[in-house]
Structure 1
Amino acid sequence: MDYLIFLGSARDSTPPRPARLGARVAAACCRLVIARGHNAQLIDPLDFDLGGVFKPHFAYAPGKAPEALDQLAEAILVADGYVMVSPEYNHAMSPALANLLNHFGASRFAFKPSAIVTYSAGQWGGARAAMSMRGFLSELGCLPVSAMVHIPKAQEALAEDGTWVAEPDSWDGYIGRTLTQLDWWAEAAKRQHAEGKAQTTEAFAQDPSQRNAP
């Protein structure tokens, strides 16, 4: 399987400390996905210059979109599933993650699964953001699996390289439950695509009005 691991943080400075706590969580997810025999590609918002004015990828004329957005659009299209890593902002998902995902129409994500992984420096692990992410990801067409991951006090749970500070087997098993569900649905969806039983939706390929009722 080919999975994209979206890092929902564009923070590159302090405070708060440690900076880019989400990078540790994303590294852990990449490591665990690879350990299961799959491919994992980290998608970091800092790698994309999205400019000051929002213009989604689908709004560009063919061949006119920034190269980085074109490459990400293709990666989203061919991936088998997605892992969405996010902190919590005002009980909602990361604005950096939402901004990046909103550049692409639902047809690129459609009929594939996603996994929700949230974290925090405090005790709740981003659980409230995770609930809001369910609706967001469902609208994109990459329905989230039921098992979610919440990592409280991530700065204490994870070292800078994404390895666990303590109880690695317990943490691996906790996240493994979610990844097992992701694998199951990704394999099923891939088989359906291979057999021609699932087609990517045409809704919202170029303009939001394409999903309007007649």
Structure 2
Amino acid sequence: MGLTYSYEIHLPPKNVATLLAHMAALAPPERHKPPLDLTLPDGQRITLPFTSHFEGGTADWSRSDESWFELDTSLLFDAYDGEEADDDLRAYAEEHVHEPRADGRFQVGYIYASIGFGSPPSGYAVVACWAATSRMSRLFERSAGVRTTFTDLTAAAGGVCCLFDFGDGSPEEVLWLNGESMRERIPGTRFPDEQSLVATWPDLPA
């Protein structure tokens, strides 16, 4: 069984549309399928350059009894993390024959997004963006630029927490929490369990 590493963004359910809009801004402009006209469970509507179950067109999640939904995304990542070259991203792109774009960004392939609304006990939504292959999972773990992209998305969408999940029961890593960047494992000294982490999140409005 391959590796399935992911970045988890926890945010108020009403902010999911904002996060998806920021993710859409990172999508390659070339499209091979029609855009997705999506209605979220709270009724917000957004058009995305992604697919759901590899189909574009129209999807109305507000009519579903499900609490988890799937998107197939593709994002562009900067070859530099600040002033530092992201050698891990460049090596991955060269191995997979992904040429840099004119603006220096790279496409890495499909990134699958699982979106849960109102997850107990916090009531926050979670958008888990997970790698499609073991090689991409290792890139997710090693690349500073990929990590910064997901923590920046968390901040831009008004999220409370960004986690790195190894998907195999290994300790997760907290990368961004309530406006603060960090590298803290769960369980660890600061967060002995997930409940202690969730306890730091603001209460959602009633």
Structure with more of its chain in strand, by fraction? 2
The TM-score, its normalising length taken from structure 2, stands at 0.31
Structure with more of its chain in helix, by fraction? 1
The TM-score, its normalising length taken from structure 1, stands at 0.31
